[in-house]
Structure formats: structure tokens, C-alpha cells
Amino acid sequence: MSTTKIQAAVLHKPNSKFEIETLDLEEPKSGEVLVKIAATGVCHSDWHLVTGSTPHPMPVAVGHEGAGVVQVVGMNVAGVNVGDHVALNWAPNCGTCFYCRNGRPSLCAAYIEPIWAGTMLDGTTRLSKNGKPVYHFCGLACFAEYVVVPQVSCVPIDKSVPLEIASLIGCAVTTGVGSVLNTAQVQKGSSVAVFGAGGVGLSTILGARYAGASRIIAVDKSAVKRKLTMECGATDFLVNDKSTVKRIRALTERRGADYVFEAIGIPAVQEQCLEAVRPGGTLILSGISPVGSGTNLPGAVLTRTEKTVKGSYYGTSNTARDFPRYADMYLKKELDLDKLISATYKLDQINEAYRAMLSGETARGVVVF
């Protein structure tokens, strides 16, 4: 089988830097698609590989929030054509399992094993170096010039949507907006608090504004995020400290917010968020916590106050429905996704991009090819 030389970002072990390397990429097999990557978002989920919070086979080609243009389709591919602009779905679904049949494709069980083994759906890799396999993060590995991905990971997007925006629809936007519209189903006139003002948190704020929330309280550790959160639709901004819950209650008639979103994945903040929810309200956890971590959400409080805690994985999405929907909302100016991109980088600047993300300097950085 023929191969192509590509440049990609690779992680060889936890607590090391991403390395830009030349890899061999095989042509697509049956049911697979070759995509030329245009843009990939700088997301914290890839950083979890660096810290070891997400265990994964290595060496691994990273990147899971991407978009590009279809170059080649393999045998038995339907619904995706050469020249299509596609956003990449990092949680492919089979369409036939229990979860897919019951409207929860983001929980599809069919492809979990190969995706977390770092392979394609057939259990093998398309990437290698010197004859040795290089694993694919989320089946995408899209911090790279080209990728081979399963056809179910490709969702065609209107070509009027810039591919930088389409890349964010592939993860941050779908996770944040989806947590509001799909998971929580926020009601018009509600009060909302969002902890974390990164790409997912800002997308959550945009979703809350679209849903018609009357009060949207943004909470972040960095005061630098105030202006950006307000531009995205927040009515109030709080720098997180020990008085945050008290201040949220003061802004919500001493009750707490109807809906509180934790978009970071830090157990201590998740516990803080439960306190910020009003009795009878809902806490939505959309940030990814380190594997093996635990959160103390006291049962007595949940019972006596009838608070609901919901997990939101990938915004409870149906990507075939939601990617085009969010793209259409962007084109109609119902979601101002341009505000999410605060910096762009070249591939060889990926470590700089992650330094900026960790410092809180950026909303969402994007590596542009």
C-alpha cells in the first residue's frame, strides 16, 4: 500500500514537548477518507496526554479539533465526496447500537475500544515512522498536514463557513453550545453561571445567550477574560475566589443560579459549582476531569435540595445534526464564533500555542495550515 510523507505533532511520553516529525501516512482503506487539514484547535484534551491525566498508547499523533477538505475517499464510502469541507467528529458513532438507536450517539459503544487504543476502527494505524506504528488521538491525529479518518468522523459543512470556525465546531462549540441546548435545555429567562472561560466555557456562554438566559454569570480565575466573556454574552463576570458562591447568590435573589456549568474539569471547582446551584437547579459537568480523579458531591445535599447533576459528553451531540446546525447559526449571526479565535499559529508553534492556552492569554488558539 502506498504512503505519503506528512508533518505532524507527536508526543512520545508524558511530561514532554510535542515534536514536529515526518511520518508515513497510508492511503485510506475501505470506509475511510483522506483529508487535507486546514485548521486544528488548541484544546486542553490534548494537553491531558502531556500531563498523563488521559492515558494513551504512545507515540501518539495529537489533535482532535479539526477541519479540512476531502482529498480521497476509500471504497464503500457514502455521504462524503472529494472536495467537501468537513468538520471532524472525534466520537464516531455506528448508528445501530443501543445508544445510537435511542438518540444518544455521543455515547456510542461500538467504537470506544479502537478509538482509545489509538487506532482506526479496524484496529490498525495508518501512521508510522521507520516502520513502527504511530497512534492516532481520537482516531483523528489532526495536528497534521493530512489525515486518514473513518468516514463517520467526517461531517460536511457549508463551504461559506471558514475552516478555522469549522474546526472549533468539531469540539469546543459542540461541547459548549450542546451542553446548553441538548444536555441542560436551558429555558428562556433562566439564570446561568459558567465556570471557566476557555473555548468550551465561552461557547457555553454563547449558547446561553442564544437560549435566552436573562442572567449569564461568567467565572474564571483570570480577570483578563472579563472583556471577552462580556462580548460573548455574559451579563456579569467574577474572578473566582472563596466568595464566588456568595456573590452568585447575591446576583440571583439569594437562591443560586438555575443552571451552573463547570467547563474546566477540576474536582474542587465542580464541588464549588454545586454550592452555586439553587435548590431544584441543575449542575452540568462538561469539563473533562483527570482519569481516576474523584469529586465529592454530598448525597444529603442533593437529596434535601433536589439539585440535579448531569454529565455532558460532547454536548450530548448528534454530530450529523449539530455540526451543520451550529454552522448555520454562525452564518445567520446567531452564534458569534469569530470571537472564540484569539490567536493563530503555525504547526511548529504548537508548544507556544499550548503555553498561551495554559496562561489564560487566549480564548481559543488555532493552528492553521
Question: Is there a contact between 164 and 172 (Cβ–Cβ < 8 Å)?
Answer: no
Can you point out the beta strands (E) in 300-363?
A: 308-311, 341-345
Annotated catalytic residue 64? yes
Q: Helices 350-359 and 44-51: crossing angle, nearest 10°?
A: 100
Cβ neighbors of 362 (< 8 A, separation 6 or more) are 42, 342, 343, 356
- Grouping H, G, I as helix, E, B as strand and the rest as coil, residue 176 is helix
Which of the following is catalytic: 48, 108, 142, 203? 48
Catalytic hit among 100, 138, 154, 171: 171
Catalytic site residue from 64, 100, 153, 154: 64
Active site residue 171: yes
Per DSSP, the three-state class of 113 is helix
Burial class (CB in 10 A: 0-12, 13-18, 19+), 336: middle
Residues 6+ apart with CB under 8 A from 131: none
Backbone conformation region of residue 254, classed left if phi is above 0, alpha if psi is from -120 to 50, else beta: left
Q: List, as own/partner pairs, every contact residues 345-349 make where C-beta atoms lie below 8 angstroms and the sequence separation is at least 24, other chains included.
A: 345/42, 347/7, 347/9, 347/20, 347/143, 347/144, 347/145, 348/20
- Segments in 71-133 forming alpha helices (H): 98-101, 112-116
Among candidate residues 45, 53, 106, 289, the one labeled active-site is 45
12 is catalytic: no
Is there a catalytic annotation at residue 136? no
Active-site residue numbers? 43, 45, 48, 64, 171
